Amino acid sequence: MLFIIAILFGVLLLTAIVFINFSPQFGGTPDKEQKKIYSQSDNFEDGKFIIRTPISTSENRWEAIQKVFKKKTHQRPLKEIEPLVLDSTAITSYSSDETKVTWFGHSTFLLQMQGATILLDPMLGDYASPLPINMTKRFNTKLPIAIEKLPFIDFVIFSHDHYDHLDYSTIKKIKDNVGKFFVPLGLSAHLTSWGVEKEKIEELDWWDMTSFGDIQLVCTPAIHFSGRGLFDQGATLWASWVIKGKNDKIYFSGDSGYGNHFKTIGDKYGPFDLVLMECGQYDKDWKNIHMFPEETVQAAVDVKGEVLVPIHWGSFKLANHIWTDPIERVVKKAQELNINISTPRIGETIIIHHKTYPETRWWVNYD
């Protein structure tokens, strides 16, 4: 019996290894020449990017993993979320004097600034995982606009390489409709393995600056980690971003635990007109790498944000909390601290410096 179990385990392990090595959604791995370049980064040691804090604070890692798969009530909406529908004509016909930000759910945004059309962490696939697991299925099957109807994207920004931020199916569909990709160090290996031309990609380390027309970009720190398979943890860097136009400044947190880097960024580049800040998919065992909603509000204060937009919620179940818990808690804390907060529906647009910002409690219609 033990021999049969050993054989079955070996077959499963071999199947997993073959799947990881040959399935394209796992992406690529930086080569020796790239690693040689990355070795000049303060964030790179012993062949990989450094995770300075433990990913999990749990003494029992297996129990920590089991939490994600444990079923509780109200972890998904009671019915499918219906996003607002975007008109492709309306997207292309806008004043370059305005800065518009449209939420696509989770951490994905369509940003229009200085005449440029930009995507932030465009994850537009159905599942936040390499396999179509029902647990990671998107809460809304419809997108605000079909990917094929998106206008030309001047550039894309990625924060890190996890499946709920960097999606293989999305890249395959948009890669020929994008002018440029700005990514943290190492992430180009994924994109080039999926057919993105190397010349279209610019990699940045923390505090590196670049520009696109009149838009200035700064790759800034985050407390997180990377990896898409069993053996590539730390192969790529993770980051947050400062996006600065002539008149408006936006901070995009990516994924991060709470830390003093927010105050450093705020002191260096703040104040920000809008901060797009992670608030969901947390657990006490992951407090080093994902913020609790109350920390999200404090982080918005630290970076000197004028208006907080909570992100990283409302699209996927990636943690074991009630699906509305992040937004309810972040709104409550923002009100306590008298912080301006905007809660757009999926597909709803925010216009910076507009008299009003979206602030309805739309999620109660699905709870």
Average pLDDT estimate for 151-171: 98
Query: Domain for residue 163, yes or no?
Result: yes
Q: Supply the pLDDT for residue 94.
A: 72
Query: Domain for residue 17, yes or no?
Result: no
Place of tokens 């990671």: 136
Q: Supply the pLDDT for residue 15.
A: 41
Indicate if the pLDDT at residue 62 is higher than 90.
Answer: no
Q: Which domain holds residue 278?
A: 31-50+61-354
Query: Domain for residue 9, yes or no?
Result: no
Q: Supply the pLDDT for residue 4.
A: 52
Q: Which carries the bigger pLDDT value, residue 220 or residue 230?
A: 220
Indicate if the pLDDT at residue 103 is higher than 60.
Answer: yes
Query: Domain for residue 21, yes or no?
Result: no
What does each C-alpha distance from 65 to 70, 252, 289 come to in angstroms? 9, 28, 15
Q: Supply the pLDDT for residue 87.
A: 87
- Give the span between the Cα atoms of 240 and 208, in whole angstroms: 12
**Could you give the number of structural domains in the chain?**
1
Cβ–Cβ under 8 Å, residues 253 and 311: yes
How would you class 198 by CB atoms within 10 Å of its CB: exposed for 0-12, middle for 13-18, buried for 19 or more?
exposed
Query: Domain for residue 24, yes or no?
Result: no
Output the six-digit token pair for 362.
Answer: 């739309």
Q: Which carries the bigger pLDDT value, residue 33 or residue 21?
A: 33
Q: Supply the pLDDT for residue 361.
A: 98
Confidence band, pLDDT 50/70/90 cuts, at residue 13 = very low
Q: pLDDT, tens digit, for every residue of 166-192?
A: 999 999 999 999 999 999 999 999 999
Residues 6+ apart with CB under 8 A from 19: none
Beta partners for residue 203, in sequence order: 183
- Give the span between the Cα atoms of 128 and 42, in whole angstroms: 30
Cβ–Cβ under 8 Å, residues 133 and 75: no
Indicate if the pLDDT at residue 27 is higher than 90.
Answer: yes
Q: What is the DSSP string of 319-332?
A: SSS-TTHHHHHHHH
- Give the span between the Cα atoms of 64 and 113, in whole angstroms: 41
Q: What is the DSSP string of 10-52?
A: HHHHHHHHHHHHH-GGG-----HHHHHHHTTSTTEETTEE---
Alpha helix locations (H) across 44-115?
A: 61-69, 88-92
Query: Domain for residue 114, yes or no?
Result: yes
What does each C-alpha distance from 290 to 56, 257, 314 come to in angstroms? 10, 4, 16
Query: Domain for residue 80, yes or no?
Result: yes
Q: Supply the pLDDT for residue 1.
A: 52
CATH number at residue 205: 3.60.15.10
Give the residue among 234, 217, 214, 209 at the shortest CA–CA distance from 44.
234
Within 10 angstroms of residue 253's Cβ, the number of other Cβ atoms is 27
Q: pLDDT, tens digit, for every residue of 111-132?
A: 999 999 999 999 999 999 999 9
Cβ–Cβ under 8 Å, residues 343 and 332: no
Q: pLDDT, tens digit, for every residue of 298-356?
A: 999 999 999 999 999 999 999 999 999 999 999 999 999 999 999 999 999 999 999 89
Q: Supply the pLDDT for residue 10.
A: 43
Average pLDDT estimate for 127-139: 94
Query: Domain for residue 211, yes or no?
Result: yes
What does each C-alpha distance from 316 to 219, 301, 306, 320 come to in angstroms? 26, 27, 27, 11
Average pLDDT estimate for 69-85: 87
Average pLDDT estimate for 353-361: 94
Give the residue among 22, 52, 61, 6 at the shortest CA–CA distance from 221.
52
Q: pLDDT, tens digit, for every residue of 14-24?
A: 444 444 455 89
